[in-house]
Amino acid sequence: MDDAQKKNKTNIEYGTWATFSQEFQTAFKSQNAQKHTLHNLNTLLIKNNSAEDHVALFKTLVTRSGLKEETNIIQKFEVSLADHIRKRINLGDKPKDLKDWYKKAIQTDNQF
């Protein structure tokens, strides 16, 4: 083969099916995992857990979800609280930031 023929020939390596499959799974897994985490975050309720456990789980889900906007995170946290905790917090001084929300939720839960 001369130089002109070599230039026109494309050497494309497609790899193996296993490599393709792994790369495909990796590419879509992260998107699906983030969507799944956001869903869990949006549907999280305190249920029978203590507020401390709830805060720990909520923090984990926020980290996995990639959410950064504190106002949005606070809204999700407030909705996730049990009614009696949320109402009690809203009767007093409104928490000023997310850390304050976590602290007041735990304090309020410990009062019951």
The domain spans of the chain are 31-111
pLDDT band for position 19 (50/70/90)?
confident
Q: At what angle do helices 51-65 and 17-43 cross, to 10 degrees?
A: 140
Using one digit for the tens of pLDDT, what is the confidence trace for 50-104? 999 999 999 999 998 888 999 999 999 999 999 999 999 999 999 999 999 999 9
Give the closest residue to 57 by CA, choosing from 72, 40, 35, 70: 40
* pLDDT, tens digit, 9 for 90 and up, residues 96-108: 999 999 999 999 9
Phi and psi, residue 19, nearest 5°: -65, -45
